[in-house]
Amino acid sequence: MNWYIIWIILFIIGIMAVGIYYSRKIETADDYTMANFSLGFFPIAGSIIATSMGSAAVIGASGKGFEIGLSWFLTKLPTLFFSVLLAVLLGATIRKLKLYTIPDLFVRRFGKAAGLIPALIISILYMTPTFGMQIVGMGSILTSIIDLPLFSSMLIGFIICVVFTLLGGLPSVAWTDAIQSVLILLGLILMFVIGLNYVGGLDVVLQNTPDKIVSFEGLSTSELFNYLIIFGPFYLVWQTSWQRISAAKTEKIAVGAVSVGFILTALIGIFAIGIGIIARQSISANIHPDLVYTEFLTTVFPPAIGGFFMVSLFAAVLTGATSFLLSGAMNISKDIYQSWVSPHANSEQVLKVSRYSVAGMAIGGLIVALLITDIIAIYTYALALSAITMVVPVMGAMFWKRATKMGMLASVIGSLAVAVIWDLFEQPYGLHMIIPGLITSFSIFIVVSLLTKHDQDEQVEAYFFTLKKKNNENVEQRRKRPVSNVESGTNQRKF
């Protein structure tokens, strides 16, 4: 009996049932892409955990734990800090603007033309290759348990992911994410504990592992600095966080669930890295880092138990893929189709285009997947380009009233060009392209904005301060307004 296949089949049947259930409830584009702005704490927090714990976080982190050690955890701290900062500082503003996507912010603040480039960057430069990365992860998992070539396994994972996303949209993705987050957490913790016992316990691991692996000294100062810059600012513009903040039922749920989700994600990451360190005791040192997790899993556990852990890994990768597909599809349907192609499109038409966009992006991601050789490399490249082109303009829209459309466009185009050229020259001085890219973005944005005037289609506001001021004024007006008998809960007596 092949327990690996049985577990995977049961898992697939379960998520497809959820997709079919929610597909019958979806009537509008808002239902499909934003769950009609009604998600509670558990699906929001669970979705953040499950989406964050994709192939880079589980397969990649285990490989880095095997190769580098505990110091890889330091690269998780900027993600945690900036993600919680986004939720706490800008969560209320994002919800008041009722933003569907980050390009939606650009359109409102800088005019219609300003949203096109960010939409293309997010959907093509980030979401599509990152989805491809998840396809590679799913293919690798299926190949390890089914006697199939990698391409066939990737194709199976591709079909499962696309069908599920097309059926249920964000409601099914969020709820299955929430359930899968529990599965991922249990899988990683149990694998860590049982794996530690398998190799002889903590004392054996500490005794047989080089000091730099079990300390925080595995990364050089320059490497650590690059990773901190790469993984930090990007999470201010990670569209998945923005989407979950907007889709939450209340502001309190949005801020709390997103913050808790990222805190738990960081803690879970310790177990993935630890599994890689433990695996050094039982598998060949020459193994490719991306194979460490699955190789250790099949070495340590009998199929009946190992199948459960394999499902937890497959769940982690699948949920990341579905979220990236859905988020990128929003950029195409809302920011490109509805803004440029058919401004008067009704909800049914936008819903149809959203589903077409899912299919189109998925095909593009599959093509990218066939070219991927390094999961972490493709992830950091896509992540860096997104951060370089969007962090500064987004912060400008939120905090700087003097920012102009020309400043925003020049910043996006100029920083992208500098980053690509820097990378082509193989990163002079050992600095990752995100550093000169962000410096260029900031410099161009400030200088060009100061030298140009606002266009007529700009909404000249610093949203964070404007909306906060309006909210304070509304509160003050409510305080000064006389309290009616109904509001005070008293009844006037007639004499």
Position 375 scores a pLDDT of 56
Of 25-39, 43-57, 145-159, the range with the highest mean pLDDT is 145-159
Average pLDDT over residues 479-487: 45
Let me know how long the chain is: 495
Buried b (16+ CB within 10 A) or exposed e, 474-491: eeeeeeeeeeeeeeeeee
Position 408 scores a pLDDT of 94
The rounded distance, in Å, linking the Cα atoms of 248 and 92 is 11
Position 353 scores a pLDDT of 84
Residue 56 pLDDT level (bands cut at 50, 70, 90):
low
Tell me the one-letter amino acid at 92: A
Percent with pLDDT over 90 in the chain: 22
Residue 479 pLDDT level (bands cut at 50, 70, 90):
very low
Look up tokens 């589980």; give the residue.
58
The rounded distance, in Å, linking the Cα atoms of 58 and 52 is 9
Cβ-contact 150, 143 below 8 angstroms: yes
Average pLDDT over residues 473-493: 44
Average pLDDT over residues 380-407: 90
Position 478 scores a pLDDT of 44
pTM beyond cutoff 0.85 = no
Residue 475 pLDDT level (bands cut at 50, 70, 90):
very low
Encoded tokens for 344: 């008067």
pLDDT at 265 over 90: no
Which of 368 and 377 is assigned the larger pLDDT?
Answer: 368
Q: Which secondary structure element, helix H or strand E, spans residue 352, and what is its range?
A: helix 347-369
Cβ-contact 228, 78 below 8 angstroms: yes
Encoded tokens for 78: 């900027």
Encoded tokens for 111: 């005019």
The rounded distance, in Å, linking the Cα atoms of 323 and 336 is 19
Give the sign of the dihedral formed by CA 156, CA 160, CA 162, CA 163.
positive
pLDDT at 29 over 70: no
pLDDT at 484 over 60: no
Number of Cβ atoms within 10 Å of the Cβ of 264: 18
Position 36 scores a pLDDT of 61
Number of Cβ atoms within 10 Å of the Cβ of 409: 21
Number of Cβ atoms within 10 Å of the Cβ of 338: 19
Average pLDDT over residues 137-158: 81
Average pLDDT over residues 461-475: 76
Encoded tokens for 488: 């005070």
The rounded distance, in Å, linking the Cα atoms of 109 and 202 is 55
pLDDT at 7 over 90: no
Residue 472 pLDDT level (bands cut at 50, 70, 90):
low
Position 417 scores a pLDDT of 94
Residue 164 pLDDT level (bands cut at 50, 70, 90):
confident
Of 68-82, 179-193, 313-327, the range with the highest mean pLDDT is 68-82
369 contact partners, CB below 8 Å, separation of at least 6:
132, 133, 135, 136, 139, 154, 158
In 3D, which of 317, 366, 377, 318 has the Cα closest to residue 59? 317
363 contact partners, CB below 8 Å, separation of at least 6:
none
The rounded distance, in Å, linking the Cα atoms of 214 and 277 is 8
Q: Please write the tens of the pLDDT for every residue from 422-449.
A: 988 888 887 888 889 999 999 999 999 9
Encoded tokens for 235: 């999470």
Q: What share of the chain is helix, strand, coil (3-state, %, to 5)?
A: 80, 0, 20
**Nearest-5° Cα angle at 22, 170 to 362:** 50
Number of Cβ atoms within 10 Å of the Cβ of 196: 19
Average pLDDT over residues 208-236: 83
Give the sign of the dihedral formed by CA 286, CA 290, CA 291, CA 294.
positive
Average pLDDT over residues 63-76: 90
* 112-116, 443-447, 480-484, 490-494: range with lowest mean pLDDT: 490-494
Buried b (16+ CB within 10 A) or exposed e, 307-316: bbbbbbbbbb
Please tell me what DSSP assigns to residue 90: I
DSSP codes of every residue in 252-318 = HHHHHHHHHHHHHHHHHHHHHHHHHHHHTTTS-TTS-GGGHHHHHHHHHS-HHHHHHHHHHHHHHHH
Domains, the chain, with CATH or none: 3-373 (1.20.1730.10)
In 3D, which of 234, 243, 118, 228 has the Cα closest to residue 173? 243
pLDDT at 474 over 60: no
Average pLDDT over residues 403-414: 94
Q: Please write the tens of the pLDDT for every residue from 338-376.
A: 777 887 888 788 878 888 888 888 888 888 777 766 655
Q: Please write the tens of the pLDDT for every residue from 269-325.
A: 889 999 999 999 988 888 888 778 878 888 888 877 778 777 777 776 777 777 777
Position 172 scores a pLDDT of 66
Measured between alpha carbons, how far is residue 401 from residues 408, 413, 458, 459 in Å?
Answer: 12, 21, 11, 9
Average pLDDT, the chain: 81
